[in-house]
Structure 1
Amino acid sequence: MLKQELKEVSTAMEQDTNIPVSVTVESEIQMGDDAERHHTHTDGTLIHKGSATYLQYKEVIEGAGSVNNVIKITNDGILILRSGSVSMKQKFLIGQTTKGMYDSPYGQLWMETTTDKMNFRYNQQKKEGDLLLSYGLVLQGEDTGKHTIKIAFQGAKA
């Protein structure tokens, strides 16, 4: 089902105007006094379709391989779809706990996210924006701490 949804999103994206963007992803996992940080820079595509905005980019996960990411942003919430060496479908709703699955080379894990912050800004004239997502994550019944993802993007230089 996830592959079909990703195919539908990709097909819908091909029919709309795509804006090539440069994407910077910063993630932090806070567990007690310990923090783990990751920083990625890649190319992506920003798509506006109806009332939804999509940000699509590819990342390489060390030891796992390539992953395609599609982030759907609407007034209702954020949906993250991942496919490739790992796959995931997770909805983020402010103040709510949502359930999803995470498939990795090591097996399938169930997950619950409780979203406490979500902010999306986009300046159409400058073709730049950012997304902030902060949530608690329980993976296979284990609390994995407080996760924060900051994504900044800007129109790619021609």
Structure 2
Amino acid sequence: MNKPTKRTVKMIFQNKIQHDDHTDSYEFTTRGELYHKGNQDYLRFEEALTETESVQTTMKWDGRELMLIRQGTVLMRQAFISGEESLGRYVTPDASWETKAVTDKVLVTWPTRKQRGKIHIKYRFLLQGQDAGQHEVRLTLEEDH
């Protein structure tokens, strides 16, 4: 059995949320691990929420579905498939909500030695049936040598 080869990547994570006439956006830079296991590719990184709270984020890609798994102060599991709706869950220490993503676009390109990779997800997000806006997530990935 082959052991998955892990590569360290530098990444820029950008999120833009359009809700009614209001736009929120945030960006952070971090390092992550990219590896292949079975028929899927995984990207794992840590997201700092505050100085004391963080979330371990894993993105699992099988060529069609991008599964977002966040574990830590916030627990979240949400699938994204271009042109489809998918159910998920968002859990905080105080509450648990059903989520739904109506995904317009999922684009995944892994980095190579010479080229940057990217993940681009565009979706309408619903939390417990309530519209939580149009989300656009962009990750720029670069091999860290």
TM-score, with length taken from structure 2: 0.91
Q: Which residue of 2 aligns with 1:29?
A: 17
1:124 aligns with 2:108: no
Shift of 1:49: 2.5
Shift of 1:16: 1.2
TM-score, with length taken from structure 1: 0.84
Moved over 3 A (4+): none
Contact 1:26 1:149 in 2 (8 A): yes
Mapped to 1, the partners of 2:90 and 2:43 lie a distance apart of: 20
Q: Which residue of 1 aligns with 2:142?
A: 154
Contact 1:58 1:69 in 2 (8 A): yes
Of 68, 75, 78, which aligns to 1:87? 75
Structure 1 residues without counterparts, runs of 5 or longer: 1-14
Q: How does 1:133-144 map to 2 (within 5 A)?
A: 133-144=121-132
Deviations 1:91-127 (A, max 9, x none): 1111111111101123111111100011111242326
Mapped to 1, the partners of 2:62 and 2:115 lie a distance apart of: 18
Deviations 1:25-80 (A, max 9, x none): 00010012210001011111011224321111001113871100000112221001
Q: Which residue of 1 aligns with 2:30?
A: 42
Q: What secondary structure, in the 3-state scheme, does the structure 1 residue paired with 2:63 have?
A: coil
Shift of 1:133: 0.3
Contact 1:26 1:37 in 2 (8 A): yes
1:71 aligns with 2:53: no
Higher helix residue share = 1
Give the percent of matched residue pairs that are identical in Structure 1 and Structure 2: 27
